[in-house]
Amino acid sequence: MEIFLSYTVVGIVAGCVYALIATGLVVTYNTTGIFNFAHGAIAMVGAYTYWQFQDDFQGWGINPVISLILVLFVLAPLFGLIVERVLMRPLQGASVDLTLVVTLGLLLFLVGVAQIAWDPNVTRNLPSFFNGAGFNIGYVQVSYHEVVAVVATVAIAISLRILFNNTRTGIAMRAVVDNPDLLAMAGGRPVRVQQLAWALSCSLAALAGILLAPINRLDILLLTLLVVDGYAAAIIGRLRNLPLAVGGAMAIGLGQNYLNGYAHSGFLNRIQFTIPMIVLFIMLILLPQDRLKTASFSGAVAPRVAGLKSSLIWGAVLIVGTYLVSLSLSDINLRTGASGFALALVLLSLLLLTGYGGMVSICQMSMAGLGAIAMGHVASGGSLLGVLAAIGLSGAVGALLALPTLKMRGLYLALATFAFATVMDQAVFTQVFGTGGNLAIGRPHIPGIPTQSDQAWMMVCCIVFTAAAVAVLAVRRSSFGRKLVAVNDSPAACATLGVNVNYTKLIVFTSSAMMCGLAGVLIGGVTKQVDALTFPALLSLVALLLARVGGINTATGVLLGAFTFALFPVFVPHLPHILHNQFLLTGIAAVSVGRDPNGIGGRIAEGAAYLRKAFGMEAKPQFVATGPVAGTAAAVFLEEEANLVSAGR
């Protein structure tokens, strides 16, 4: 009984924190129609800021109560106002995919800022309120920190209920998402209402972070992702219904802790941390989806698809160019180049899936991780058989994941795939590799072709990417490619023209996962070993944003996106110190350049079309999607730069 009670107490506290998170999400979704993926990161920054204020040794040693008031009632709302003004207000009426890009970009930006401000290698402690003091009910210990968590949550839940149902402002908050113009005409002030919502939401996030950090650990990624667990509760409330979301949060918190208490070992114990994500996944499947509707992640006007001739020519140019550059590179830079092409292959899978097919995925790195696992375990880790196994395993898991998610689009699909990636992180990769452990991956031996040296491996990666890019472009030009684009443009029309829409999506999802499996082999081959941190969910998110920034509907775009990230170590010495963080830069790129759905690749295609016209060449811009031309240029330039840098050392 004592055990039951103590797990109940811990479960209620966890449920309260989830409820706070869910409430914050519902508040902004209800008033702006934007699902804030960055909510977790805001909570994390809130917790760190509070730590900074009140810590006596590494921080500024300000009185905890004053610190708390400053963070919750001044800084967090202020941050909310800035976010609203700079990022969210321009998104009024924007498509779901743009809001996804911007909020995901904000998430990465905040993680980057936190990593620069608070060195992740330094251990920090955020004490509980009242330094962990508490009291006993029978044998069950209850800390004042936990009491504060519960009281605060109940108070907030009640006041929000009153705010939304009984006050003019609250009713305006509910009205604003439905029709801001109508509200304005009726004398309401939609902007003021939305400012209030973001300020409130950020305060709630900060409070959740401050309550959560002492219970777990003050760790940037852990905290950001723990808060993501609260998203499940918000989805239970269908992002609209606060009481339902709070109830869901309690159920998740309690369920998770009872599992922890009663399933001491075995499968159930291992999955306890993934419970929220599993709940999220199941809820998404159960939610009524929009019926066959139109939506698209890529641009309204996509660049023309490169023809076979031009993609072959530019592919050859890329391979030859890479070879020439590779002759003069150090081993470190050869591996950097190889990882660039490997990452480009992951992004290429998004060109097919998202750019052409309109399906968002935030689990491509997890698929690559599965490929690496298969490669490492089959035929002692260095054979072509392993490559086949990698492609097969990723494809199979991709198909299994696709089946329940086929009907989802936009936000729901993004959440479901992200939930999957998180579960892979917590339940699969840590189990397979073991905490701190790793798996050796060999470079497959191919008769007659050198693959073992770093230079050879970079060429393998380059050739595999180029072949895959030519293939993807060929698929796009084929009848299947037309079907894919048609299914994205109008699933309803396709269905009434005899197309099995779900089957088409299944094929694309599976092929895309297979490409990731192959990329996993390439990634593993670069470092010759992988561990639980090689394929984190966060990197899947980075991959999606990089593809969007580079241009998610051209091969040039994805190559650019991948190399911008992979070459980070090369050009970082030339950047001011404040920008020395990949997440920060990716985040900034996403919220700025990522707004253009065609990305940088699309701009290059436009430029090329302009040039062709200016030089009086054939007016029809048949191969304006320049294929990998710009990629080559960028690769050559940056690799040479890399060479200079390494020579200078």
Partner 1 sequence: MSAPAAEKTGSTVRRDPHAALEIIDVSVKFGGITAVSDVSLSARRGQITGLIGPNGAGKTTTFNVITGLQEPTNGRVFIGEREVSHLPPYRRSRLGMARTFQRLEVFGSLSVYENVLAAAEFHHSWSDDATPPRLVANEIVERVGLSTVSEERVDALPTGIARLVELGRALATRPDLLLLDEVGSGLNHEETAALGDLMIELTRDGTAILLVEHDVELVMRVCDRIFVLDFGRLIANGTPEQIQKDPAVQAAYLGADTEEQK
Q: Is 185 among the residues that bind partner 1 (CB under 8 A)?
A: no
For 283-321, give the secondary structure using H, E and C. HHHHCCCCCCCCCCCCCCCCCCCCCHHHHHHHHHHHHHH
Closest CB to partner 1 among 446 and 492?
492
Q: Is 485 among the residues that bind partner 1 (CB under 8 A)?
A: yes
Measured distance CA(180)–CA(315) in Å, rounded: 50
| Nearest distance in Å: CB 244, partner 1 | 19
The residue from 496, 578, 592, 644 that contacts partner 1 (CB under 8 A) is: 496
Q: Is 482 among the residues that bind partner 1 (CB under 8 A)?
A: yes
> What residues have CB less than 8 Å from 50, skipping those under 6 apart?
67, 68, 71, 126, 206, 209, 210
Q: Is 291 among the residues that bind partner 1 (CB under 8 A)?
A: yes
| Nearest distance in Å: CB 496, partner 1 | 5
> What residues have CB less than 8 Å from 170, skipping those under 6 apart?
162, 163, 164
- Piece in contact with partner 1 (CB under 8 A), picked from 162-170, 286-294, 525-533, 590-598: 286-294
- Piece in contact with partner 1 (CB under 8 A), picked from 67-75, 173-181, 413-421, 496-504: 496-504
Measured distance CA(486)–CA(499) in Å, rounded: 10
Structure-token pair, residue 624 = 């304006």
Chain centroid offset of residue 362 CA:
5
| Nearest distance in Å: CB 475, partner 1 | 14
| Nearest distance in Å: CB 416, partner 1 | 22
Closest CB to partner 1 among 222 and 486?
486
Q: Is 294 among the residues that bind partner 1 (CB under 8 A)?
A: yes
Give the total of residues touching partner 1 (CB under 8 A): 24
* Burial of residue 297, with CB atoms counted within 10 A of its CB: 0-12 exposed, 13-18 middle, 19 or more buried: buried
Measured distance CA(425)–CA(369) in Å, rounded: 10
The pattern of x and - marking residues 298 through 327 that bind partner 1 according to CB under 8 A reads --xxx-------------------------
Element (H or E) spanning 143, and its range? strand 140-143
| Nearest distance in Å: CB 291, partner 1 | 7
Closest CB to partner 1 among 422 and 511?
511
| Nearest distance in Å: CB 241, partner 1 | 17
| Nearest distance in Å: CB 294, partner 1 | 7
Burial letters 451-484, b for 16+ CB under 10 A, else e: eeebbbbbbbbbbbbbebbbebbbbbeeeebebb
The residue from 373, 406, 494, 609 that contacts partner 1 (CB under 8 A) is: 494
Q: Which of residues 501-520 bind partner 1 (CB under 8 A)?
A: 501
Q: Which of residues 584-643 bind partner 1 (CB under 8 A)?
A: none
User: Measuring CA to CA, which residue among 629, 491, 640 is closest to residue 570?
Assistant: 640
Closest CB to partner 1 among 286 and 492?
492
The residue from 147, 254, 493, 506 that contacts partner 1 (CB under 8 A) is: 493
| Nearest distance in Å: CB 165, partner 1 | 22
Closest CB to partner 1 among 298 and 534?
298
> What residues have CB less than 8 Å from 186, skipping those under 6 apart?
175
User: Measuring CA to CA, which residue among 380, 310, 375 is closest to residue 554?
Assistant: 310
- Piece in contact with partner 1 (CB under 8 A), picked from 44-52, 220-228, 295-303, 597-605: 295-303
| Nearest distance in Å: CB 489, partner 1 | 4
What number of residues does the chain have?
Answer: 649
| Nearest distance in Å: CB 629, partner 1 | 23
Give the N- to C-terminal CA distance of the chain in Å, as an integer.
65
Measured distance CA(318)–CA(462) in Å, rounded: 8
**Rounded (5°) CA angle 466-472-475:** 145
| Nearest distance in Å: CB 311, partner 1 | 19
CB 50 within 8 A of CB 212: no
- Piece in contact with partner 1 (CB under 8 A), picked from 156-164, 488-496, 557-565, 624-632: 488-496
Q: Is 486 among the residues that bind partner 1 (CB under 8 A)?
A: yes
Q: Is 499 among the residues that bind partner 1 (CB under 8 A)?
A: yes
The pattern of x and - marking residues 78 through 117 that bind partner 1 according to CB under 8 A reads ----------------------------------------
Q: Write the single-letter amino acid at 632.
A: T
| Nearest distance in Å: CB 357, partner 1 | 12
Structure-token pair, residue 115 = 């990593």
The alpha helices in 84-216, defined as continuous H runs, are: 96-117, 144-166, 168-178, 180-185, 190-215
- Piece in contact with partner 1 (CB under 8 A), picked from 92-100, 481-489, 540-548, 584-592: 481-489
The C-alpha torsion from 631 through 632 and 634 to 635, rounded to 10°, is: 110
SS3 175: helix
Closest CB to partner 1 among 147 and 292?
292
The residue from 266, 498, 576, 616 that contacts partner 1 (CB under 8 A) is: 498
Q: Is 288 among the residues that bind partner 1 (CB under 8 A)?
A: no
CB 334 within 8 A of CB 457: yes
SS3 409: coil
The pattern of x and - marking residues 117 through 156 that bind partner 1 according to CB under 8 A reads ----------------------------------------
Measured distance CA(47)–CA(62) in Å, rounded: 15
Closest CB to partner 1 among 270 and 483?
483
Q: Is 63 among the residues that bind partner 1 (CB under 8 A)?
A: no
- Piece in contact with partner 1 (CB under 8 A), picked from 73-81, 220-228, 248-256, 497-505: 497-505
How far, CA to CA in Å, does 601 sit from each of 287, 355, 459, 484, 519?
Answer: 36, 12, 23, 21, 21
How far, CA to CA in Å, does 593 sit from each of 308, 566, 603, 633?
Answer: 29, 18, 11, 20
- Piece in contact with partner 1 (CB under 8 A), picked from 49-57, 124-132, 292-300, 610-618: 292-300
Closest CB to partner 1 among 327 and 619?
619
- Piece in contact with partner 1 (CB under 8 A), picked from 23-31, 71-79, 309-317, 479-487: 479-487
Residues that bind partner 1 (CB under 8 A): 291-292, 294, 300-302, 479, 482-483, 485-486, 488-490, 492-501
